């Protein structure tokens, strides 16, 4: 689920069940200055960065972050799986 507000972007991965909703992980655009993105925290680039932050958190929580290393060096080549 992604929500755009006037001052923030909220991204969450939620699982719905009869007993109630469970938030697996969440990330907020106001966290991005910790990683070097100081301005423009409500634009589409910030939404993309917030989604990447959320993805890394979910992979760490599910202990899959070692399986998906990502690109170590930017070569411009695409990999399709």
- Domain range for 42: 2-62
DSSP string, 15-30: E--SS--EEEEEEEGG
Helix then strand count (H, E) for the chain reads: 1, 3
Per the domain annotation, does 77 fall within a domain? no
What total number of domains does the chain contain?
1
Q: What pTM did the predictor assign?
A: 0.80
- Note down pLDDT in tens along the chain; length 81 residues: 999 999 999 999 999 999 999 999 999 999 999 999 999 999 999 999 999 999 999 999 999 988 877 777 878 777 776
Per the domain annotation, does 80 fall within a domain? no
Per the domain annotation, does 74 fall within a domain? no
Distances (CA, A) of 20 to 15, 17, 23, 25: 9, 5, 10, 16
How many angstroms separate the CA atoms of 59 and 66, rounded? 9
């Amino acid at each position: 689920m992604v929500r755009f507000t006037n001052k923030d972007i909220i991204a969450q991965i939620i699982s719905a069940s009869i007993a109630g909703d469970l938030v697996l992980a969440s990330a907020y655009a106001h966290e991005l200055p910790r990683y070097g993105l100081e301005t423009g925290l409500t634009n589409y680039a910030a939404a993309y960065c917030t989604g990447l932050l959320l993805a890394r958190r979910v992979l760490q929580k599910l202990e899959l972050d070692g399986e998906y290393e990502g690109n170590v060096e930017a070569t411009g080549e695409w990999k399709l799986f």
